[in-house]
Chains A and B, each alone.
Chain A
């Protein structure tokens, strides 16, 4: 009897059985996952930059420790995700190359600048908040390694959003200058955060197939709505406002209506014309190029040890804190 691989694959999707690296899968499924997971990984890594810029200026030792740990977490998320993508037959170096040559994208949100300390709050609350909704959904994505990476990541993400909200909360109860700083950061990060969910469903090219294959389980617009509904509640605690005059409860839909998103801006940033696209990519290129000799030395040393010693040094030894 001949096994129809495609049918087997689809029946697994249907029965909520995870697809694993050695399983047969349609080439397009593989490519879609590679694209999505690697872009997700790049977003974690590039996402270290806007917040990383404030580590040295954090206003208290406690905030410094929290921010440092938070940015470090994002690096860890990048690691989990690169590993998940590698199970699909692409190397981390290839993925890095795609990022640095502009072939692979990362979340456009990180092309906005972090101008004040309040941005650390707004990024945690809004950007991590938006990311969480997407990532909670992805804990149930059909590709096993991706789903499992997401479960680990989600555990850390709620701390990220909490610390961001707490930064804003303290500012919102502070001096007039701090309150103004808080509102200004919310104003600047609100719309770009809504754009994080991607184009509206009618414009989104990859969405249909991804939902059929259960890579995605909610549409961009559904997630965006969930985010708006959540933020409207939380902003009240801050005693601040969201910069949208059209925000209004819709009793028929049982959701908040919100104003039109500036999709021109969105596409401009995606195309590379955002405020910090060049800076972000330059920072990644610099780190990569400056570090070339370190990576080469590590490889050369490992080769030498392989020849001479039975046991090489434990190189990447990571301490889990």
Chain B
């Protein structure tokens, strides 16, 4: 990625981080399409995948305009290497089961809800517009996922155990939501990015509320996994991208 236009050296990676995160979670959710436990919920999760994909596209398109003519959304999604991706690590984890999938969505949607609520006031008009539009979608994601966390947490003994296991599986992955990257710190001075420390309490409160109703116990991280924004990923992302990028890589310069 060479020669960013002036003032964009922080904004471009910021957009890419936001785009990558939504794309990768959309991808994971889309793996359920046709395999969900209940037809209605298969459709609901696919709706979320579609919404996240739409958000990713908006963000990639914006990044591409900042980067210059030779870039477009597909080049950014399909022709970057794992070591260039900036998604949160929680999004690249395999789905494992419905409990982990639902809980991951709940953690992420809660985060997105507070995040976009701030980003919609960004001094960057484009980001503010994307945040505003996405916020309506996220309200639905948050409602859907919190209802399912409650339903499964407070359902049967088995479902409660599976949800509590999901809490354990994901416990090291949520701290990354609130770690400020270099570019976020820089952009904050121009009121473009979001001060993540201000939303952490709201997020935790939301989780606690829903967990209380779900009869689940929140677990704090002992070894936070926070490399995603710095392009430090797991093997899971490589595998995911090998699959996702296969056609673009195999048949370069083709139109689809």
Contacts and interface: CB of A to CB of B under 8 A. Distances in A.
Interface of A: 45, 48-49, 52, 55-65, 68-69, 71-72, 75-76, 78-79, 82, 117, 167, 170-171, 173-175, 177-178, 283, 286-287, 290-298, 300-301, 304, 313-319, 321
A65 to B, nearest CB: 5
B248 A59 contact: yes
A317 B41 CA distance: 9
Contacts of B256: 59-60, 63, 117, 167, 170-171
B37 A290 contact: yes
A95 to B, nearest CB: 11
Contacts of B43: 72, 75-76, 79, 318
A79 B50 CA distance: 19
A123 B247 CA distance: 18
Given A59-B256, A301-B155, A313-B151, A68 B40 contact: no
A258 to B, nearest CB: 31
A296 B156 contact: yes
8 contacts: A59-B248, A59-B256, A68-B53, A79-B40, A117-B247, A174-B254, A297-B156, A318-B47
A57 B250 CA distance: 12
A297 B38 contact: no
B213 to A, nearest CB: 10
B77 A316 contact: no
Given A65-B54, A78-B39, 10 more contacts: A55-B30, A56-B27, A59-B78, A60-B74, A61-B57, A61-B77, A71-B46, A117-B256, A295-B37, A313-B151
B73 interface: yes
B140 to A, nearest CB: 5
B98 A315 contact: no
Contacts of B38: 291, 294-295, 298, 316
Given A175-B251, A293-B159, A319-B140, A304 B57 contact: no
B159 A68 contact: no
Contacts of A316: 38, 40-41, 44
Contact of B50 (A56, A297, A321): A321
Given A60-B74, A71-B34, A318 B44 contact: yes
A166 B152 CA distance: 42
A43 to B, nearest CB: 13
Given A59-B247, A68-B30, A300-B156, A319 B162 contact: no
Interface in B39-80: 39-44, 46-47, 49-50, 53-54, 56-57, 60, 73-74, 77-78
A165 B248 CA distance: 20
Interface stretch (B7-15, B142-150, B178-186, B229-237): B142-150
Contacts of B27: 56
A297 B74 contact: no
A57 B37 contact: no
Interface of B: 23, 27, 30-31, 33-44, 46-47, 49-50, 53-54, 56-57, 60, 73-74, 77-78, 97-98, 140, 143-144, 147, 150-152, 154-156, 158-159, 162, 240, 243-244, 246-248, 251, 254-256
Nearest to A304: B154
B57 A317 contact: no
Contact of B46 (A49, A68, A291, A304): A68
A301 B60 contact: no
Contacts of A304: 154
A293 to B, nearest CB: 5
B159 A297 contact: yes
Contacts of A59: 78, 247-248, 254, 256
A62 B77 CA distance: 11
A75 B37 contact: no
A297 B158 contact: yes
A244 B36 CA distance: 39
A173 B256 CA distance: 10
Contact of A178 (B23, B78, B254): B254
Given A65-B53, A177-B251, A178-B254, A52 B34 contact: yes
Contacts of A49: 34
A301 B153 CA distance: 9
Most B CB within 10 A of own CB, among A69, A293, A321: A293
Nearest to A175: B254
Given A175-B254, A294-B152, A61 B30 contact: no
A123 B243 CA distance: 21
A178 B254 CA distance: 8
A164 to B, nearest CB: 14
A282 B110 CA distance: 35
A290 B97 contact: yes
Given A63-B256, A72-B47, A321-B47, A294 B98 contact: yes
Nearest to A167: B256
A317 B151 contact: no
A82 B38 CA distance: 13
Contacts of A297: 151-152, 155-156, 158-159
A313 B98 contact: no
A122 to B, nearest CB: 15
Contacts of B60: 61
Nearest to A52: B34
